[in-house]
Amino acid sequence: MANKRDYYEVLGVTKEADVAAIKASYKKLAIKYHPDKNPGDKAAEENFKEAAEAYGILSDADKRARYDRFGHAGVQGGGGGAEGFSNFEDIFSAFGDIFGGDFFGRQGGGRGGRGRGGPPRGQDLQIALTVTLTDVANGVTKKVKLKRFNKCATCSGQGGTGKQTCNVCAGQGQVRQVQSSFFGQIVNVTTCPECQGIGSLIKSKCADCHGMGRRQEEVTLSIDVPPGVEESNYLTLRSEGHAGPQGGPSGDLIVAIKEAEDETFERRGVDLYMQVEVPYTTVALGGDIRVKTIEGEVDLKVPAGTQSEKLMRLRNKGLPDINGSQRGSQYVKIHVHTPENLSAREIEALKELERVQEKDHPKSFFQKAKTFFT
């Protein structure tokens, strides 16, 4: 942690920069230093992590305020951005919501990987995954079935034998047509009709995949969802998308997190809200009530004289955040239940209570009435 650079300096923004400016700057750096673009470059990797960490702090109003006041010491260990991430996938699972599925513009057509030569990259695959609040609390591994292009096992993805560079597009997979028009020359780039954009042709095609080197199959995947995810977060599973044609690299699987409605809890960030019905005798006399939490039931002490609609807090019974650095609270709203269908004995007891109260607390009842009407 020695010699850490100033986060504003890392992102190249001023101390007054707004969230949009910070996000824009981070996105630029993340794309520039992304390991995909700088394979094996340690310095780029460090820059990438550093930018992610700075972004993690400066994009969060609370953490930014702490950092502004106390510097690095104020945000250490706590929400230390990339500190808690073990690898790049984690960074994207946390920041994925900013970029969405097509962060690298590799969607559609799978042409993005072309820069390195060879057959094009397979398309990314997007799925939605519904998680419960219990899943969010603990993390979960979910099995999903999906259909995707897999490398053809028969030809090991090669599509057959006798591979030749397509002579129509010279292996580019694209053809340029130049048209002259009133406005000047218009260049049209289209997928090569000869090789369908693959860039090569197979002389002796594999019978199982018809020369494509990939086949649509149903696969079952295990997806690890880390604790603390939120609706509209994305997890990126590298190379779990469609296989590229004729041995091209696979696209990614992009998992959009959906949060299932919960019948007990309402989530607000890392905090959970719920309401309990409490007998009026309990709020008057005080007592323990059983309360559902995300980890099972606990006893909650209701003090004597608790008013209806009071919000009570159970610390650390909420949800973890995505960094695993903090856990929210559970808020329990006390709703006093007015009894119905009283028995004769209960009515008698309550009438007796009424008589006692009028004698013992005549003034307080009068004052209550007054505040109600003013």
Would you say how long the chain is, in residues?
374
Determine the size of the site formed for Zn ion (CB under 5 A).
Answer: 12
CA-based angle 97:323:317, to the nearest 5? 110
Shortest distance (Å) from residue 159 CB to Zn ion: 6
Of the ranges 77-85, 194-202, 234-242, 322-330, which one interacts with Zn ion (CB under 5 A)? 194-202
Q: Counting contacts by CB under 5 A, is residue 209 touching Zn ion?
A: yes
> Would you state the structure tokens that stand for residue 116, as one six-digit string?
């390195």
Closer CB to Zn ion, 15 or 210, in the complex: 210
- Give all strands (DSSP E) within 160-251, no chain letters: 160-165, 174-181, 184-191, 200-205, 214-225, 234-237
Token representation of residue 99: 């970029």
In whole angstroms, what is the distance from residue 22 CA to residue 51 CA?
10
Residue 235 binds Zn ion (CB under 5 A): no
* Structure-token match 């094009």, residue found: 120
* 347 interacts with Zn ion by CB under 5 A: no
Using the rule CB under 5 A, is 243 a contact of Zn ion?
A: no
Closer by beta carbon to Zn ion, 152 or else 283: 152
Tokens standing for residue 62? 């609370």
Residue 166 in contact with Zn ion, rule: CB under 5 A: yes
Q: Is 195 in the site for Zn ion (CB under 5 A)?
A: yes
Tell me the backbone φ, ψ of residue 42, rounded to 5 degrees. -65, -40
Query: Closer CB to Zn ion, residue 152 or residue 235?
Result: 152
Options 22, 94, 133, 192; binder of Zn ion; rule CB under 5 A = 192
Can you tell me the distance from the alpha carbon of 119 to that of 122, in angstroms, rounded to the nearest whole number?
A: 9
Q: Is 168 in the site for Zn ion (CB under 5 A)?
A: yes
Applying CB under 5 A, which part among 127-135, 186-194, 232-240, 307-315 lies near Zn ion? 186-194
DSSP assignment letter at 248:
P
**Least Å from the CB of residue 125 to Zn ion:** 20
Which residue lies nearer to Zn ion by CB, 91 or 206? 206
Residue among 6, 41, 208, 352 that touches Zn ion (CB under 5 A):
208
User: Measuring CA to CA, how many Å separate 24 from each of 18, 30, 236?
Assistant: 10, 10, 21
Q: Give yes or no for residue 152 binding Zn ion (CB under 5 A).
A: yes
| Distance of alpha carbon 259 from alpha carbon 252, whole angstroms | 22
> By rule CB under 5 A, what string of x and - marks binding of each residue 103-142 to Zn ion?
----------------------------------------
**Tally of CB atoms within 10 A around 239:** 13
Q: How buried is 305 (Cβ within 10 angstroms: 0-12 exposed, 13-18 middle, 19+ buried)?
A: exposed
Rank residues 155 and 322 by Cβ distance to Zn ion and give the closer one: 155
Closest to Zn ion by CB, 116 or 315: 116
DSSP state of 293: E
Binding site for Zn ion (CB under 5 A): 152, 154-155, 166, 168-169, 192, 194-195, 206, 208-209
